Every structure is written in C-alpha cells, then in structure tokens.
Structure 1
Amino acid sequence: MVVGSGIAGLAAAQALADHFDLVLILERDAEPLDGQPRPGVPQGRHPHLLLCGGMNALSTLFPGLVQDLHAAGAVPLDVGRDLQLELPEVGALPRRELGLATFSMTRPLLEQALRRRVTHRGNVEIRYRTRVIGILNAPSDGRVTGVHYQEGLGRYGMTGADLVVDASGWASPTLDWLETNGMTLRQTVVGVDIGYSSAVFAPPTAPDADFVGAATFADAPGSSRSGYVLQAENGSWQVLLVGRGDDRPPTDPRQFIAYAQGLLTPTIADFLARVGPPPHVSCFAFPKSVWRHFRGATRLPRGLLPIGDAICRFNPVYGQGMSVAAQEAVLLRDLLERQAGSADPLATLTDQFLAGAERFIETPWAVSTLPDFVYPQTKGERPARLEEELQQQAALRRQALVDPDACRLLSEVHHLLKPLQALRTAGLVAA
C-alpha cells in the first residue's frame, strides 16, 4: 500500500509492482484531469525542474518514459547548453555541451506520464478521494498490518497490507503512529521563510528565446531576489520569482514585472517586458526545510516505510525533492530484488532503505542549506565552517567560469549525479 500519488508515490508503486500481488495507492485528491495540478500539491502550479539524477532514476524505473515525455511535448534540456545560469560575482556561466540531459515541463505533465505508466500494470490500482487516517499494527509484535481510511466525507474502512509506504509528503501517518506509540523523532529544521510567485505564458504571447531555461540567483545576503524562466510543453513558458522574509514577490501582475526588475540581471525582466503582464499569478510559501531522522532515535516497525518528502522536505527553490524521491524509489526496487529470495524479505527492508536514503539526502541537503545560511535571518544550527565553505563555493563558481571540467563536475553534483565528496576527491573543495 502506498499513501499518496505524487512523484514519490508513483515511483514507489512502480518499484513495488514487480514484487507484490497488488499495489494499492490511496490518494486523498479527486482523480486529476490530464495536465491539471492537484489541490494536494500546493506548489503544483509553479515551475519544477527534474534534475538529471532524477530523470535518470525515473527512466530506469519506467522504461519508455523518455519517449512518453517527448510525445507529450516536454522540452529536452541539456543543462550545460540550454540552461543559462547567472551567478553573483561571476555573471553568466558559459553555455557548454555537457551531455547532462533532462526535460523542461510542468509537474502535472510529469505526474500524468508516470500515472499512465504505473496504472497500465495489471496489479496497481489508485483509489482517489481516500484519506489515510491511521496505521494499523498487530498488538503482539507492533508489526504494521494496514491502514484505517476515510472515503471522501463518507464511510470509514480498513485495508490490510504487508507493507505501507508513506509517500504523503507531510508524513502524517508515520508521525501519528510514532506519537500514538510514545516515540520521539529527531528532526533537523532550517527556517528559510521563502515566498514565491509564478506565472505561465501561453503562445502566441510567449516569445522566442535562445535558451530553454534561465536562472538568476540572488546577490546574497544583500538581496534574496532570484528568478527562473523555463520553457514547458505546448510552447508555453513559466516564470518564477523568489524572495525571503518581507521581500516576497507580489501576486499583482504589474507588480510582478516590477519585482523582476530588482533581480541581479535584466534577463527575466526583459523577457517579461516582451510578454507584458501575466494573466494570472500564483503564490506559494515555504517556511522551513525539514529532515526527519527516522533512523536513530527510534526504530520504525516492520511494514512501515516513509519515502520522498515524508523523510526530507527540501527548500523547493533548488528543485531537489522530486529527484531525491525518484532515486529513493530505485533504491527500494534494488533492495526488494536483492532480498526477494530470502526467507523473510521484509524483515530488514525499512532499516536498509532508511540507511540508503540517508546517503542520498546528504548531498542535496548540504548543497541547499549552505546558501540558505548566507542569510542571517535563516533559523537553524549553522555549519561550524560556514564562512570557509561559502568561500570555497565562490571559488568553485569562479573556476567553473573558465574550466569546462570543473563546470561539468559542479553540474553533476548539483544534479545529483555525483556526491558532494566528488568535489573534494577532485581537489575542488578543501578537505
């Protein structure tokens, strides 16, 4: 049983389907219309970029996905050639052919492609408008045996399961189980107080551009304003503006354009000047990044396994969440394949999965929280060598400006293709 039908839930269901007679996905939202965001994904109307590591993971899980995305109109993107990155101190990085490929598209399109693939399997079913309200466990040994749910606003029911995967995002089922059983959970929290606003421009108003995407990063800590413009399916473009604290981007269309004029470079403001005020602006707030350390202070029961945002909610500005969830689903598949022939294949699954997921999370967590701590108002325990590490990051950006190999390696780390340790091994970061 999988709780939630987002990227993590769909990827997990695909990993499970080869090893279970039935995979049942319980989703609290109604069945979505193709191409439309779901209410349960509050940031679903905003741009998402699937990192190359996430694209590779999903392609491994879903053979034929690349062809599906091409057919649906997703835009191929080489992150070195097609993505213009504009950084403080160094300006725009040179556009280079790096061979690191993904797609630019809306999140609803990606969910739709995954949903079609997974539901075409004969043993996967999605039940919509079904909210999980509790996890059931055996009184004798605490082993999880299923869930208690509510359908819409109507009847309640219980369903048994050998394994419950919590892909709910907020981890409410798992956290409620821990509280009910008197267990505590250690969490690492970084308060970022992010707000962002985005707009979609459809053809024919959307202009031609010499990039598939552009990102202008903030000149921190003096400014928190950053912005992104990304091409999406059907010739549309998405523009995202980001700020922190009191300097959040507005929802008024004309003020949206004015806010973009305060970015480090004029790239996005010039784009908006060509298209005019957007027809609609959506907003979203993200107060804090949270890493829940399920492995350590307490031990989850047999048959319960959190995944994706249920373990770690990253600052969405860095675009890591979907990709980490996809990589965790590949880990789940690999563990199931490795243990399929054992006498009790689920006995150590949760412990092994959480240990592997922790290794996946370490690099994106470090990559995202380090620039967050540039701002003095960011809340949380600062790294002991923060200033030194910030200087190293600035040196890396300067080296990437002139060194194609450094640029490629930096991109591979940011796109979750290599761990942060690869920079140290290459001598690009001091030990």
Structure 2
Amino acid sequence: MTRPSISSTAPARQRAIVIGGSLAGTLAAAALREVVDEVLIIENDELPAVPGPRKGLPQASHAHMFWSSGVRAAEALLPGVTDRWTAAGANRIPIPTGMVGFTPEGWLRRWTAETAFLIACSRDVLDHAVRDLVLADTRVTVRQHTRVEGLIGTAARVTGVRTRAADGRETDLEADFVVDASGRGSRTPRYLAELGVRPAPERSLDLGLTYASRVFRAPGGTAGFPMVVVQSDPRTARPGQSASILPIEHGQWIVTTAGTRGGEPTARNEDFEPFARGLRHPVIGEIISDLEPLTDVTVNRSTRNTRRHFENVGNWPERFVVLGDALAAFNPIYGHAMSVAAQAALVLRDLAAADGIDAPRLARRVQKAMAKPVAAAWDLALGHDVFYPGAQGSAQSTPTRKDKVLSAYTYRLLSTCCGNSTMTRDFFDVTSLQAPLTTLVRPRVLLGALRGPLRPPLTEPPLTDRELALVRTTGPN
C-alpha cells in the first residue's frame, strides 16, 4: 500500500525593497520588517559606519528640527530610538518654553506648559541612530553603491527593481513590495510612465530660498540654552530673510540663515554675521558675534516645495508605495519633512500589518492614507510661501482672496499667541503636526482670536538674565 506523500515545501519568503537609505528609507524598512521575511535597502551612496556626512545628503549641514509628532512616530517604529538620540548628545527642546521666537507679530512668550517638543541634533547623529537600530535587525540589509534604474513589472503590479552597481553591472531584483524613499531626486514619475501608469498631478512652488549655515562652539555653561528663531514677515513685500540657532550635540550650535529670491545669504564667511544682524531683529547676530566658528559657511539651494499627488492616480500599481521627499518635499524652514516621513512610514506599517502586503489595493490605500500628513504640512507651507515676492511654480504663486483672508486670520492668531498661553498651545499643536489644521477654526480658538492677546507685547527677546549673561560675557570655551 502506497502512503500519500506529505509536501515539505516551505512557504515562499517575502522580500521588500526600499529605494534610498536616508531617514525616510530606513524608517520605511523599519515599518516593513515585521510583515515580510527580508527587507533590502538599495542605496547609491556609501552609508557611514559612524555619524558623519554623505554625498547624497547635502542639506545635512543645516539645522534640522524633528517635531514631536515625527519623534513619536519614529519611536513607535523603532522603540528606544529617542534614547539613542539623547545618549548621542541630542537635546530635547520643549516648545514654547525652550524657544525664543520673533514672529511677524512679535516675541512669543516662553510659557511653562509644554505643548510640543523638538529633538535637536545634527542630521548625521539623527540618521545614524535610526540606521544603526534598523540594520541591527537581521531581516534588514543594505546594498550600497547601487543605483535603481527602473521598476520591474506592469502598470498593474510592480514586481521588483532594475539596478546598476558601481562597476556598471545591471541586475534585476525581484520583490513582493517596493517603496521609493529616494528623496527630491526621485525618478518614480519616469519609471511609472515606462510601465504605462498615467502621470500623477504635480504641484510646486519655488521661492528661490537659499540656506547658509555654520557650526559654532557654544559658550561654556549654556547647556539647556533655548532655540532662537527670527522669522521673516511675508507682508512686507520684500524677500523673506530669517535665521535660527539650534543647540546640538557636543556643545555646538548650528546657526542657519535663509533668504528668498532677491534676499539670499552668501557662502562667504565674512557675510554670515552681518546677514544675521540685518534681520528684523539683530539678536542672532549679536549672540554669535564672539563665538568660535567650527566650520565654514555651507549653502543649500534645493528648497522647492513639490507635491506629487500619487493618491489621485486611479490605476496605481499594486505592491508599490512612495514616501518622504519623493512624495512631497517642503520648504525646509518649517521643519516638517522628517516628521511627515515618519508619520507616513507608520501608516505603511499599520496598514501592511493589518492586511498583509499581498492584500488587494493595499498600496493605493497606503498612498491615500499618507496624503493626510502630507496635506497638513503642504497647506501650512503654502499658506505663507505664496506671499513672498518672486514665488514661481505650478501651484498658485500669487495670493488669492481666500489666501489673504486666511493669512490675516493666521496673523491674528499669532498676535494672540504672543499674549495667550492657551492659544499658543493650539497653534503649536497644529504647526508641530500633532493636530489638524481645522483645530484653528474651532469655536474656542475663533473666540480667543477675536478677543486678542491677554498680555501686552514683549519689547525684547525673552532670554533669562542667566542666558543673557552667558552670551554677553562668556565667549567661546
């Protein structure tokens, strides 16, 4: 008698490929590692083994603000990452307590109740902690010095990527799921066109914004020093110029200046402090006047607002998702890009974990869900940027009547925040992406704006006596 055979075939292993090994890409890998057997990150650069710069991230030398909304999303994806950042010297800056901010409506008060917070460190430290945790998982590997040249599959489903190694060798890599997190230079629109997918609507707004940054040694004894920000005022019909001091690791400060078209900072060291002194308030120039510079000035001009509406593509292919700057790139002055990328990666994890990567229309549902945090940051950015002279792009580049009404209301809110702690909390809940934009039109907020500030405006930066003494007398270590 013949016994029936018992199949010993193991279930097929599932692989995800992530294009790009920067913050968005490594967070996407963290999101997928629980739902597939292996995740392969394809990276064109060499990723440093210790915190350090890399060729494909030229903006790393500028100030980066990681808002609490993004930090919490990153922590959900990578438990313990916040402790890694702080162990490496990152500062947790409570908002508004830890911020000295000069808005278009005046100085914000440093209310004691924390509304939001920032993780402040160099981009090198930020990325390394995430990358270190992700690559410690044996399910995640990275292939460096490799460029993705196209997608494999059809308009109905992506099945992998076509790659080229540094030696020119081309390889097709199959995958059960593909994520593009390759940044501003993403070639996904071209890749999708090659597969026969119809183009996504795309909007852009370019202010001609230029960033110039320099790292200084902080004065001795300034641990816990606040972030200092001097904002521009779009209502002046002049180029927007601004600056910030961001305390980072190892007793250093990143000082970043910025200017829109016609008011750009230069790359010359001798121009850096005068530019900061020439802003709407000279406080940042005054603070850095006696500090020891640790670097020369570095400049970045890749600051265009760009949004690709992949969520509106009706025939979106299965098993393919786009996130990070490849999906939407923002004016860096608002510090939203990293938080939006982290929130999008969390959306990917939750939907993929709930249904599995082979669930029908999963990629389309993920893309639509990601559009929510993207839209929040986009609306906040364009609501201000459209007012700067010389704005160019496919998005509305001249203010409409609606823009003007909303702008006037926003400035009324800002004026109220300068003298009202409750309104400040509501405002930063929204600008930190912890709450939707609709928060600002709730009846309580509308009534608060109608009443206006409860305290008179401040006439000087709200630095404490100790902080003033440190920056006036200590000088560099």
Normalising by the smaller structure, the TM-score range is over 0.9
Structure 1 distance, partners of 2:286, 2:170, is 54
How far did 1:173 drift? 4.1
AA at the equivalent of 2:164: Q
How far did 1:26 drift? 0.4
1:411 aligns with 2:428: yes
Which residue is equivalent to 1:71? Answer: 87
Higher mean displacement: 344-353 or 255-264: 344-353
8 Å CA contact retained: 1:146, 1:160: yes
1:77-92 map, 5 Å: 77-92=93-108
TM-score when scaled to structure 1?
0.93
Structure 2 distance, partners of 1:345, 1:426, is 44
AA at the equivalent of 1:405: T
Structure 1 distance, partners of 2:215, 2:439, is 37
Which residue is equivalent to 1:346? Answer: 359
1:158 aligns with 2:172: yes
Which residue is equivalent to 2:306? Answer: 290
How far did 1:312 drift? 0.6
Structure 1 distance, partners of 2:256, 2:111, is 21
How far did 1:14 drift? 0.4
Structure 1 distance, partners of 2:261, 2:444, is 36
Q: Sort the Cα spacing of 1:206 and 1:363 in 2 relative to 1 into closer, same or farther, 3 A.
A: farther
Q: Which has the larger radius of gyration?
A: 2
Which residue is equivalent to 1:93? Answer: 109
Which residue is equivalent to 2:204? Answer: 189
AA at the equivalent of 2:120: S
Q: Sort the Cα spacing of 1:263 and 1:113 in 2 relative to 1 into closer, same or farther, 3 A.
A: same
AA at the equivalent of 2:338: M
Structure 2 distance, partners of 1:191, 1:259, is 22
Q: Sort the Cα spacing of 1:297 and 1:332 in 2 relative to 1 into closer, same or farther, 3 A.
A: closer
1:167 aligns with 2:167: no
| Residues 214-252 of structure 1: per-residue CA shift (max 9 Å, x gap) | 111013333411001000011111000000112111111
CA RMSD after TM alignment: 2.0
Structure 1 distance, partners of 2:220, 2:308, is 41
Structure 1 distance, partners of 2:358, 2:442, is 36
Structure 2 distance, partners of 1:406, 1:92, is 11
Q: Sort the Cα spacing of 1:210 and 1:329 in 2 relative to 1 into closer, same or farther, 3 A.
A: closer
1:323 aligns with 2:339: yes
Which residue is equivalent to 2:267? Answer: 251
Q: Sort the Cα spacing of 1:224 and 1:268 in 2 relative to 1 into closer, same or farther, 3 A.
A: same
Instruction: Return the match for 2:213 from 179, 198, 222.
Output: 198
1:20-419 map, 5 Å: 20-138=36-154, 142-170=156-184, 172-182=186-196, 183-202=198-217, 208=222, 211-220=225-234, 221=236, 222-275=238-291, 279-286=295-302, 288-340=304-356, 345-379=358-392, 380-381=395-396, 382-419=399-436
| Residues 74-97 of structure 1: per-residue CA shift (max 9 Å, x gap) | 112112111111112323433433
Which residue is equivalent to 2:6? Answer: none
Aligned residues: 425
Higher mean displacement: 364-373 or 97-106: 97-106
AA at the equivalent of 1:156: E
Structure 1 distance, partners of 2:38, 2:302, is 36
8 Å CA contact retained: 2:62, 2:213: yes
How far did 1:171 drift? 6.0
How far did 1:427 drift? 4.2
Higher mean displacement: 278-287 or 349-358: 278-287
8 Å CA contact retained: 1:82, 1:95: no
Uncovered stretches (5+) of structure 2, i.e. residues with no partner: 1-16, 450-477
1:421 aligns with 2:461: no
AA at the equivalent of 2:364: D
Higher mean displacement: 123-132 or 176-185: 176-185
Which residue is equivalent to 2:9? Answer: none
How far did 1:288 drift? 2.2
Q: Sort the Cα spacing of 1:287 and 1:52 in 2 relative to 1 into closer, same or farther, 3 A.
A: closer
8 Å CA contact retained: 1:232, 1:238: yes
8 Å CA contact retained: 1:231, 1:237: yes
Higher mean displacement: 216-225 or 86-95: 86-95
TM-score when scaled to structure 2?
0.85
Higher mean displacement: 269-278 or 63-72: 269-278
8 Å CA contact retained: 1:216, 1:263: yes
| Residues 3-33 of structure 1: per-residue CA shift (max 9 Å, x gap) | 0011111111001000101000000001224
How far did 1:112 drift? 0.4
How far did 1:429 drift? 5.0
Higher mean displacement: 353-362 or 374-383: 374-383
8 Å CA contact retained: 1:303, 1:346: no
8 Å CA contact retained: 1:87, 1:93: no
Which residue is equivalent to 2:457? Answer: none
How far did 1:100 drift? 2.4
How far did 1:316 drift? 0.9
8 Å CA contact retained: 1:11, 1:114: yes
Uncovered stretches (5+) of structure 1, i.e. residues with no partner: none
Structure 2 distance, partners of 1:171, 1:297, is 20
Which residue is equivalent to 2:25? Answer: 9
SS where residue 325 of structure 1 aligns? helix
SS where residue 157 of structure 1 aligns? strand
How far did 1:346 drift? 3.4
8 Å CA contact retained: 2:214, 2:293: no
8 Å CA contact retained: 1:185, 1:298: no
Q: Sort the Cα spacing of 1:279 and 1:173 in 2 relative to 1 into closer, same or farther, 3 A.
A: closer
SS where residue 29 of structure 1 aligns? coil
Structure 2 distance, partners of 1:185, 1:337, is 27
